[in-house]
Every structure is written in C-alpha cells, then in structure tokens.
C-alpha cells in the first residue's frame, strides 16, 4: 500500500494496513454480525492492499500515458508549423510540451506504476495462498500475517482516501450485506490520488 494503511478503524498514515489484524474493536462487521475470523481478516487485508495498489497503479499509468501523449503531440512537426504561424499558440504548445516532459521525468510516474503493479500481484498471490491453505491453524495464520507485514514495509506512504475506497470494495466483495463500510466525502473521493488526507475523518457508515 501505501501500498500500507489500516482502514478497519481508520486507515493509518503509514500505509495500507498496519493495525487491522490486532484490534478486536475494529473487526466487528456492521449490523451486529459476529466478529470476523482471523482467516477472514487476513483475506480482507490482502485483498484491500491488492485493490489499493491496483488503484494507484492505474492512476500512475493513465497519468503517465496522458503526459507522454501531450509531450508527443505538442512537439510534433504539424503543431510546430501551426505555432510558427500563430506565435502565441506556438509558445503555449512549447510550454505544455516542456512541462509534460518534466513532470513525467521528475516524478517517475511509469516507475511508480511498475512498483504498484508488483505489490498488487504479490498481495493477490498472498490472498491465493491464504485461500489454498484454509482452514488455517495458528502457525499458518501467523506466517501469513508476517508476510503481510513484510509487504507493508515495501509500500509508499499511504493515500488514505484511496485506501478507504479499497477497504470498502474488499469488504463488499468478501462479506456482502454484512460488510463494514467507511464514509468518503465527495472532496476526498475526487482528490484521493492527489492529496494524502492524513487529517481526514472516515466514519463508519451505519
């Protein structure tokens, strides 16, 4: 995560998942349903982190492609000829080309997308391992929890609103009507890939 943060109570700023497995108060599903089993929590955590990294990967890939397209388009010969005839337009296109190339180069969007793709695959692999190992005894559960914590250490600082969206999706996928959901405001949703929202509140939806 992130890609890790903990969205079971309220996602931590460090990345997608930290304390979720150890907080009994945070694992009660909505509607008074029984607490989740350790296996269910492990699966939910792995899926949440996979979805988080998938969302970040998609954001970086799309942004990277848009910037590359803008750079190529505004640097093309046809645009240059058009700009030669209309000076102000030519200057504008030159600025767009320079800014697009600089942003793509400095922020390494393609590299970040690749990093999240690797983490997404590893969390999905871990999810598959948990499913294949069911039912889990204490030793296996501890091993899978250790794998999660090792992966947390490879994640970048979390974008908390992205993590909450991933958390809600994972809960809905695994638990259906008994899923616990956290509220995300429209502003948080619109800016989730741009702002960390470390001070944001994500109350449980009752």
What DSSP letter does each residue of 53-72 carry, written as one string? HHHHHHHHHHHHHHHHHHHH
Instruction: Please give the residue range of the domain that contains residue 184.
Output: 29-190
Top pLDDT among 192 and 3 is at 192
Residue 179: is its pLDDT beyond 70? yes
Q: What is the mean pLDDT of residues 13-37?
A: 46
- Count CA within 13 A, CB hemisphere, residue 184: 22
Compute the C-alpha angle 139/141/146, nearest 5°: 95
pLDDT at 173 over 50: yes
In a domain, 178, yes or no: yes
**pLDDT given at position 26:** 35
More confident of the two residues 92 and 33: 92
Residue 158 lies in a domain: yes
For 128-154, how does the pLDDT look when each residue is reduced to its tens digit (9 = 90+)?
Answer: 999 998 888 889 989 999 999 999 999
Band of pLDDT at residue 8, cut at 50, 70 and 90 = very low
Domain annotation covers residue 84: yes
- Residue 183: predicted pLDDT: 94
64 within a domain of the structure (yes/no): yes
Confidence of residue 55 (pLDDT cuts 50, 70, 90): very high
Kindly state whether residue 23 falls inside one of the protein's structural domains.
Answer: no
Cβ neighbours around 168 below 10 Å, total: 21
3-state secondary structure of 154: coil
Look at residue 163 and tell me whether its pLDDT is greater than 50. Answer: yes
Q: Residue 117 falls within a domain, yes or no?
A: yes
The answer to whether 168 and 81 have CB atoms below 8 angstroms apart is: no
> Is pLDDT above 50 for 15?
no
Q: Are 99 and 50 in contact (CB under 8 A)?
A: no
The answer to whether residue 20 sits within a structural domain is no
The pLDDT-based confidence of 85 (bands split at 50, 70, 90) is: low
Domain-located, residue 79: yes
- The residue-averaged pLDDT of 44-55 equals 96
In whole angstroms, give the CA distance from residue 31 to residue 14. 29
CB 13 within 8 A of CB 157: yes
The candidate with the shortest Cα–Cα distance to 55, out of 204, 203, 184, is 184
- Give the chain's domain count: 1
| Pairwise CA distance, residues 51 & 164, whole Å | 10
């Amino acid at each position: 995560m992130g890609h890790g943060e903990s969205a079971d109570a309220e996602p931590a700023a460090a990345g997608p998942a930290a304390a979720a497995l150890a907080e009994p108060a945070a694992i009660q599903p909505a509607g008074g349903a029984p607490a989740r089993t350790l296996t269910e929590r492990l699966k939910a955590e792995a899926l949440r982190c996979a979805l988080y990294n998938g969302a970040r990967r998609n954001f970086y890939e799309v942004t990277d492609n848009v910037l590359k397209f803008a750079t190529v388009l505004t640097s093309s010969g046809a645009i240059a000829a058009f700009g030669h005839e209309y000076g102000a337009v030519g200057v504008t296109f030159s600025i767009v080309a320079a800014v697009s190339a600089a942003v793509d180069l400095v922020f390494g969007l393609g590299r970040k997308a690749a990093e999240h793709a690797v983490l997404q695959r590893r969390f999905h692999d871990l999810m598959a391992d948990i499913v294949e190992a069911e039912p889990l005894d204490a030793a296996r559960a501890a091993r899978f929890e250790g794998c999660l914590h090792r992966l947390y250490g490879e994640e970048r600082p979390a974008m908390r609103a992205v993590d909450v969206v991933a958390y809600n999706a994972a809960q809905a996928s695994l638990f259906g009507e008994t899923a616990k959901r956290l509220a995300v405001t429209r502003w948080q949703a619109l800016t989730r890939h741009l702002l960390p929202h470390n001070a944001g509140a994500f109350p449980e939806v009752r």
